[in-house]
């Protein structure tokens, strides 16, 4: 087989990752761009530019491009109907990108492609039923049911981050009209908010001193301080981990998954996050599902979306050609 590669592009709420990926899902060249405060036209320009750079630097033939975008898709039309955390509304995304890139383009929700990567070669490999959560700016969800990615009636599944876990909870983010969503209380955004509150309450803690020193209280700093043993930072991550556990208990009861995979930027906290989540699942979910389920970190970490988008492109090419890759 010739050394054909695809480019996978993961468009997150704050940054875009692109990479040239081989059929064994090895990544050969990476490109990163900020997408903060861009309008829709600028966002599409950044995506085109990142693909061009990955294509020129890859040193191998690029056969197609896959995009994971944080939008609700209508797969009947290829239209990205709405994105919660990025300015995308009613964009015929695949058509626009096919024309601008001159390559076959395949598009799916970013959390769905992350689930595809983890199922194909990561922490959910071989699972028949799996739940894959991507916790960053928001919370994306992907479901593997009967060994296949579940996309719903028109391709808009599985928005697990917008399951309500607190009926009268805080308003959700961006373009979600709901309140008390899992995403509203347990995303990286929520972690930063809770950490800021705790920093103010505990000014002599490491977190409190960081705030007084003018540092931005965001996920990476909270995680770093927690790994260094700061009790206030650990408390913020434990709180998010407990809420994660409440959500996972729901998924365990509903889907009886073999494995729940947690990825996205927030999983940098590792066991500090997953330990409290497992404890809540053990207390609140139903047997026998709760006793069988494994709750683990994603293998591909922050690259799951990019690698999954590349896998989506290989799948798309194979479907067009009528062969498996
Ligand atoms: Zn929501």
DSSP string covering 147-203 = TEE--TTTS----GGGSBSSTT--B-STT---BSBHHHHHSHHHHHHHHHHHHHH-T
* Strand-pair partners of 20: 7, 29
| Residue pair 179/171 in contact by the 8 Å Cβ criterion | yes
Whether pLDDT at 262 is above 70: yes
- What is the token pair recorded at 101? 């890139």
How many Å lie between the centroid of ligand 1 and the Cα of residue 172? 5
Confidence band, pLDDT 50/70/90 cuts, at residue 9: very high
Question: What's the pTM value of the predicted model, to 2 decimals?
Answer: 0.91
How many Å lie between the centroid of ligand 1 and the Cα of residue 138? 9
Q: Quick one: pLDDT at residue 324?
A: 61
pLDDT digits (tens, 9 = 90+) for 127-149: 999 999 999 989 999 999 999 99
How many Å lie between the centroid of ligand 1 and the Cα of residue 84? 8
Closest CA to 86 of 46, 53, 113: 46
**Lowest mean pLDDT across 85-89, 207-211, 273-277:** 85-89
How many Å lie between the centroid of ligand 1 and the Cα of residue 170? 10
Across 148-158, average pLDDT: 93
| Residue pair 223/268 in contact by the 8 Å Cβ criterion | yes
How many Å lie between the centroid of ligand 1 and the Cα of residue 247? 13
d(Cα 133, Cα 303) in Å, to the nearest integer? 14
Whether pLDDT at 102 is above 80: yes
Pairwise pLDDT comparison (137 vs 280), residue with the higher score: 280
Pairing of strands 259-263, 294-297: parallel
Q: Quick one: pLDDT at residue 1?
A: 45
For the chain, the C-alpha Rg in angstroms (whole number) is 19
How many Å lie between the centroid of ligand 1 and the Cα of residue 166? 11
Kindly report whether the peptide bond that precedes residue 281 is cis, defined as omega within 30 degrees of 0.
no
Confidence band, pLDDT 50/70/90 cuts, at residue 89: confident
How many Å lie between the centroid of ligand 1 and the Cα of residue 260? 20
How many Å lie between the centroid of ligand 1 and the Cα of residue 87? 16
How many Å lie between the centroid of ligand 1 and the Cα of residue 36? 20
How many Å lie between the centroid of ligand 1 and the Cα of residue 53? 34
| Residue pair 245/277 in contact by the 8 Å Cβ criterion | yes
Element (H, E) at 90: strand 89-91
Q: Quick one: pLDDT at residue 79?
A: 87
How many Å lie between the centroid of ligand 1 and the Cα of residue 178? 5
How many Å lie between the centroid of ligand 1 and the Cα of residue 167? 11
How many Å lie between the centroid of ligand 1 and the Cα of residue 139? 9
Whether pLDDT at 44 is above 50: yes
How many Å lie between the centroid of ligand 1 and the Cα of residue 250? 16
- What is the token pair recorded at 92? 């015929």
């Amino acid at each position: 087989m010739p050394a054909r590669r695809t480019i996978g592009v993961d468009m997150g709420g704050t940054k875009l990752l692109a990479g040239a990926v081989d059929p064994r899902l090895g990544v050969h060249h990476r490109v990163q761009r900020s997408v903060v405060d861009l309008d829709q036209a600028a966002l599409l320009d950044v995506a085109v530019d990142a693909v061009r750079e990955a294509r020129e630097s890859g040193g191998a033939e690029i056969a197609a491009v896959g995009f994971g975008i944080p939008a609700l898709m209508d797969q009947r039309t290829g239209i990205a109907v709405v994105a919660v955390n990025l300015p995308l509304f009613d964009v015929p995304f695949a058509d626009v990108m096919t024309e601008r890139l001159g390559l076959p383009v395949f598009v799916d929700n970013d959390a769905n492609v992350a689930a595809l990567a983890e199922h194909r070669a990561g922490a959910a490999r071989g699972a028949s039923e799996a739940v894959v959560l991507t916790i960053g700016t928001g919370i994306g969800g992907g479901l593997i049911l009967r060994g296949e990615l579940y996309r719903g009636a028109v391709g808009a599944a599985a928005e697990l981050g917008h399951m309500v876990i607190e009926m009268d909870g805080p308003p959700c983010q961006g373009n979600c009209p709901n309140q008390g969503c899992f995403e509203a209380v347990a995303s990286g955004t929520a972690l930063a908010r809770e950490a800021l509150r705790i920093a103010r309450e505990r000014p002599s803690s490491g977190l409190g001193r960081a705030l007084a020193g003018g540092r931005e209280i965001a996920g990476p700093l909270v995680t770093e301080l927690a790994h260094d043993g700061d009790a206030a930072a650990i408390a913020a991550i434990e709180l998010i981990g407990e809420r994660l556990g409440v959500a996972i208990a729901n998924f365990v009861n509903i889907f009886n998954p073999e494995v729940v995979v947690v990825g996205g930027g927030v999983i940098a906290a590792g066991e500090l996050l997953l330990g409290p989540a497992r404890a809540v699942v053990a207390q609140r979910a139903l047997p026998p599902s709760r006793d069988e389920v494994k709750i683990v970190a994603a293998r591909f970490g922050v690259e799951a979306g990019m690698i999954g988008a590349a896998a989506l492109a290989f799948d798309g090419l194979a479907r067009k050609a009528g062969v498996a890759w």
